[in-house]
Amino acid sequence: MFPPTRIRSCLPVINPMFRRLKPHRPFRQTLHQTKSVNTNNLQKSKWTSVRAIFTRWVPLGSVMYVGWCYIRATINYEISKVEIKFYEMFPFRITSRLWGKIAAYELPVSIRGLVYGTYCKMFNVNLNEAAISDLTYYKSLSAFFTRSLRDGARFISPAACVSPCDGVVLNCGPAKTDRIEQVKGVTYSLEEFLGENKWSKNANNYYDSLLKDKKNILHQCIIYLAPGDYHRFHSPCDWMSLYRRHFSGKLLSVNPWMASLIPGLFTMNERAVYIGEWKHGFFSMTAVGATNVGSIEIYKDPDLRTNTKGKRNRVDETVMQKVQFTKGELFGQFNMGSTIILLFEAPPDFKFDLQSGDRVLVGQALTEMSKERSR
């Protein structure tokens, strides 16, 4: 054993050694705190990184938005201007162009039946009406969307004006003012929709300037084409197109629910307006674009280009050389669903044989002049 005197003589040397070892326990605490801080920073970075925007925030926001839409649909809710502006900010033009490229991509023959068959079940597509019912024939989704009808699938009524497309009637009836109903209680401006009247200026009032006969009134018919409908549209009557106006607007959804929420929806969206005359005077037929409907094709107007990239004019006007259309003639086609709007002059006793919510087919009589229906 060491004598006490020897131990005391070693204390000056031992004490500093123990002092150096004392920080060992606090060091463990500091390391633990450092790990917790790093863990917190790591958790924060998972939610604040660019990757998190697409892997976390977008799915979470989508679920919340769908839930909110479901709740809103179950109550009598009026959409606010802030929500409309926020909805307009979505890049629907870019997504529609992307969808157009995907839809035009040629699919392998082995999966065409599965892809198109699933689509038919989802949207209740009637393949018996198609000119070619073999699903492997269609090279792409775009070719399947714009499929033609077999001969005899539609009967063209002898009525003066018939349905230009398959779809659901959103609204129809007389339009006696510059504000027209797109659905019940929700309106849009006639002048904003058609644009400046450069083809006939015979009155100070815009509404009256469209009429050739002041005894007549304007009538309208709005038909919505769902994704499962026949996507080509036809001429509703014998008429002559004199003027085309292309509006490079937005590509918002035009389904009936959105049309009932957003006033002036049809004046916001991209559209091709064809203006001319029929036997009663003024006549116009408008193809309205929508989400994933970046391409509107008009067979007798090959110069029309919709949803183009880069800088574009808000309005593109073209004077047409008296292009004649006969009732039932093919007029154009959409990709996915969209809307056709007819605005025309007719006598006050002109009555629609339809009401909002009715389903119509190409060639079906729109008026009470004939009760004959499409087969």
Answer whether residue 54 is part of any domain: no
Q: Are 305 and 100 a contacting pair, CB within 8 Å?
A: no
At residue 6, the pLDDT reads 55
213 shares its domain with 90: no
* Predicted confidence band of residue 8 (pLDDT cuts 50, 70, 90): low
134 shares its domain with 171: no
- Which among 318, 294, 322 is positioned nearest to 307, based on CA atoms? 294
Q: Are 202 and 281 a contacting pair, CB within 8 Å?
A: no
Checking if the pLDDT of 372 tops 50, the result is no
227 shares its domain with 355: yes
Q: Catalytic pick from 142, 235, 253, 338?
A: 338
At residue 188, the pLDDT reads 86
139 shares its domain with 213: no
Q: What is the 3-state secondary structure (H, E, C) of the chain?
A: CCCHHHHHHHHHHHHHHHHHHCCHHHHHHHHHHHHHHHHHHHHHHHHHCHHHHHHHHHHHHHHHHHHHHHHHHCCCCCCCHHHHHHHHCCCHHHHHHHHHHHHHCCCCHHHHHHHHHHHHHHHCCCHHHECCCCHHHCCCHHHHHCCCECCCCCCCCCCCCECCCCEEEEEEEEECCCEEEEECCEEEEHHHHHCCCCCCCCCCCHHHHHCCCCCCEEEEEEEEECCCCCCEEECCCCEEEEEEEEECCECCCCCHHHHCCCCCHHHHECEEEEEEEECCEEEEEEEECECCECCEEECCCCCCCCCCCCCCCCEEEEEEEEEEECCCCEEEEECCCEEEEEEEEECCCCCECCCCCCEECCCCECECCCCCCCC
**Per-residue pLDDT tens for 26-82?**
544 454 555 454 555 555 566 667 676 667 766 777 677 667 666 665 655 556 667
What rounded mean pLDDT belongs to the chain? 79
137 shares its domain with 247: no
For residues 340-353, give the mean pLDDT: 90
Q: Are 179 and 187 a contacting pair, CB within 8 Å?
A: yes
210 shares its domain with 92: no
105 or 14: whose pLDDT is higher? 105
Answer whether residue 105 is part of any domain: yes
157 is an active site residue: no
Answer whether residue 152 is part of any domain: no
Domain boundary among 91, 113, 145: 145
- Which among 163, 103, 166 is positioned nearest to 129, based on CA atoms? 166
Answer whether residue 237 is part of any domain: yes
111 shares its domain with 247: no
34 shares its domain with 171: no
Residues facing residue 269 across a β-bridge: 250
**Per-residue pLDDT tens for 175-227?**
888 888 877 778 888 888 998 888 776 667 888 888 888 889 999 999 999 88
132 shares its domain with 226: no
Alpha-carbon distance of 289 to 266, in angstroms, equals 9
289 or 150: whose pLDDT is higher? 150
187 shares its domain with 267: yes
At residue 373, the pLDDT reads 41
Q: Catalytic pick from 142, 166, 241, 301?
A: 166
Domain interval for residue 219: 167-360
For residues 158-176, give the mean pLDDT: 91
132 shares its domain with 180: no
Answer whether residue 157 is part of any domain: no
Answer whether residue 367 is part of any domain: no
**Per-residue pLDDT tens for 114-141?**
999 998 998 889 888 999 989 999 999 8
Q: Catalytic pick from 234, 241, 284, 295?
A: 234
141 shares its domain with 171: no
Checking if the pLDDT of 96 tops 90, the result is no
Answer whether residue 329 is part of any domain: yes
Answer whether residue 62 is part of any domain: no
**Per-residue pLDDT tens for 306-331?**
877 766 667 788 888 789 999 999 99
Split into its structural domains, the chain has a count of 3
- Which among 144, 66, 147, 70 is positioned nearest to 105, based on CA atoms? 144
166 is an active site residue: yes
